[in-house]
Amino acid sequence: MNKEISVCGSNCSKCYCFEQKMCQGCNACCGVVFHCHGNECPIYHCSVTKHHFKSCLECDKIPCDIWKRTRDPKFSDEEFEKNINDRINLLKEQYIANH
């Protein structure tokens, strides 16, 4: 996997915290990203820690309830659905590029 693409398909390099070196991304910090306040991200925990997947793409429940519970409140319903689809597509692109 690209180190800038998280297990859920978020592109960490697009985040202002990544650009300002405040965060090196989900993969670099093993899911303990700044917005989880010292805890492991629930998506990372499920995918990597619990199931030992390289990404959520390996799970047959993608997108699961955890994805829906960790919704960014800035998104409208339509924006959130698009965000989910974009993240899944990015994971698929990464998978194809690596195989």
pLDDT per residue of the chain (99 residues) written in tens, 0 to 9: 577 899 999 998 888 888 787 888 888 899 998 778 889 999 999 999 999 999 999 999 999 999 999 888 899 999 999 999 999 999 999 999 888
pTM: 0.88
38 torsion bin: left (phi>0), alpha (psi -120 to 50), beta (else) = left
Contacts of 88 (CB under 8 A, 6+ apart): 9, 57, 62, 63
Percent helix, strand, coil in the chain, to 5, is 50, 0, 50
Q: Judge whether 65 and 73 are in contact, CB under 8 Å.
A: no
Listed by start position, the domains of the chain span 12-93
Contacts of 36 (CB under 8 A, 6+ apart): none
